[in-house]
Amino acid sequence: MTWSEMQPLLNQGLVDTVYMVGWSTLIAALGGLPLGVLLVLTDRGGMLRNTVVNKVVGAIVNVGRSLPFIILLVALIPFTKLLVGTFIGPTAAIVPLAIGAIPFFARLVETAIREVDHGLVEAVQSMGGGTRTTVFKVLLPQALPSLVAGLTTTVIVLLGYSAMAGAVGGGGLGDLALTYGYQRFETGLMLATVGVLIVLVTLVQLIGDLAVRLLTRQERKAG
């Protein structure tokens, strides 16, 4: 297969991968952030201490993280078909990608928030600040660099997951590598697909690291 033949396939695969990963990252952030905050707030010593809620949420997150993605991908086929009308294609792949990433990101959020200086939390509480004020004025702003680092890690994991989604016709670079590179023995296309994925991961990591450095610098200036 010549480069002129490979290029449109790679372009479409790249577009599909960015589409899948972009939407699933957004959903993972919207779902994982409140779950991570809830795990901290309901834990022992938390402002909303509730052992039952903490254990239930923790168990759900642990189960979600322990399932291999390829198994989750297949297990969610009926739910995906019910939700979007099909289990094939980039849009369908967003469902298992997002569900798989939510518990992963939730644990990263929990870790980031636990790193916040407890003295700052106590200071806000002593001035009459409630849970909402503490979360939005102290915990999230102070944990922002770590949250961005966690989100960067999540995007990179999702890029790997999206490649696996190609095994069930999820589209994107993974589907391209499987359909052409493996089944049709197009080694050149396979190598090109791997190269594009490496470039994507590298770009995401560089952008994430830059954002973390900028946020950390601003935090130090403000402090």
DSSP per residue, 12-49:
HHHHHHHHHHHHHHHHHHHHHHHHHHHHHHTSTTSTT-
pLDDT of residue 2: 76
pLDDT at 182: 65
Domain range for 33 is: 3-222
**pLDDT value for 210:** 97
Residues of the chain with pLDDT under 50: none
Q: Number of folded domains in the chain? A: 1
Query: What size, in residues, is the chain?
Result: 223
Kindly state the DSSP code that residue 127 receives in the 8-state scheme. Answer: T
pLDDT at residue number 223:
59
What are the tokens at 16? 């599909």
Burial per residue of 27-37, b for 16 or more beta-carbon CB atoms within 10 angstroms, e otherwise: bbbebbbebbb
pLDDT at position 98: 95
Give the CATH number for residue 211. Answer: 1.10.3720.10
CA atoms of 36 and 154, how far apart (whole Å): 14
pLDDT at 126: 84
Measured CA to CA, the distance from residue 221 to residue 24 in angstroms comes to 34
Per-residue pLDDT at 155: 97
